[in-house]
Amino acid sequence: MFPETIETDRLRLAQFCQDRVSPSEFYAVAGRGQTETIDEETQYVSWSPHEHPKESADVLASFEEAWDEGESATYAIYLREGEPGSGELAGNTGLNLHWETQRAELGIWLRKPFWGRGYSGERAAALLEVAFDRLDLEVVSVAHVPENDNSQRAIERYVDRFGGRREGRLRNELRDSDGRVHDVVRYSISCDEWASARSDSGPSR
C-alpha cells in the first residue's frame, strides 16, 4: 500500500523497520542521554527519549505492525549523497491514517543537526503526493504545540505553499508520554488545494 522508499532532491525516505534500522542504531540517536540534543529534540513531541534498547526495539516493532495493518506509514529520514551528514539517520516522518474520514496526519522528528535546512517542507511535499495521488485521501492535517516556534514557521511555509489553511487552536488535544496535556494548533491541506497549488507552481518537488 505504501511505497517502501521515497526520494526527493535531497532526502531518501525508507520504511522504518528492523531490516533497515537496528534497535541499537535507533537507540543511539533516540535514547536518553545518547546524544547532547535528544532532550531538546523531544521537547515538543508526544514521546520521550527511550530508556533502553528494548524500548527502541518495541517502537520499531510497533512501526512495522502499523505499516502492515495500513494504519500508519513511518519512514526513516536519510540525506542523499552530497548533503552534509549524508547516510546518517536524520530522524523519522510519516502519515497516520484515518481511513473512515479520508484523512491523514503528518508527523516528523528531526535531529537537531539537521534543523534549519528546509527538510521538513521537502519531506512534507513528498508525503502529500503519497497521500493524495497514491492513497486517494481528501485531507492531510498537521499540528504543533503553541510553544514550538520552529515547527510553526516550517509548517506555515509549506501549508501556505500548498494552499492549505490554519484551522485553529484545539484545547487539551495532546497528551504526552509524561501525562501532561497540551493545546495544539492545527492546519490542513485538501486534495483540491494541493492539486491547484501544484498546477500553479509546477511539480511539488
CB 76 within 8 A of CB 15: yes
> Using one digit for the tens of pLDDT, what is the confidence trace for 73-116?
999 999 999 999 898 999 999 999 999 999 999 999 999 999 99
pLDDT band at 199 (very low <50, low <70, confident <90, very high): confident
CB 79 within 8 A of CB 87: yes
CB 3 within 8 A of CB 95: no
Q: Which of 101, 98, 95, 91 is nearest to 29 (CA)?
A: 91
Please give the domain boundaries of the chain with CATH numbers for all domains. Answer: 5-201 (3.40.630.30)
The pLDDT of residue 205 is above 60: no
Q: What is the pTM (predicted TM-score) of this model?
A: 0.94
Residues 6 or more apart from 129 whose CB is under 8 A from it? 204, 205
Which residues are 6's β-sheet partners? 13
> Using one digit for the tens of pLDDT, what is the confidence trace for 113-137?
999 999 999 999 999 999 999 999 9
Give the chain's mean pLDDT.
94
The pLDDT of residue 204 is above 50: no
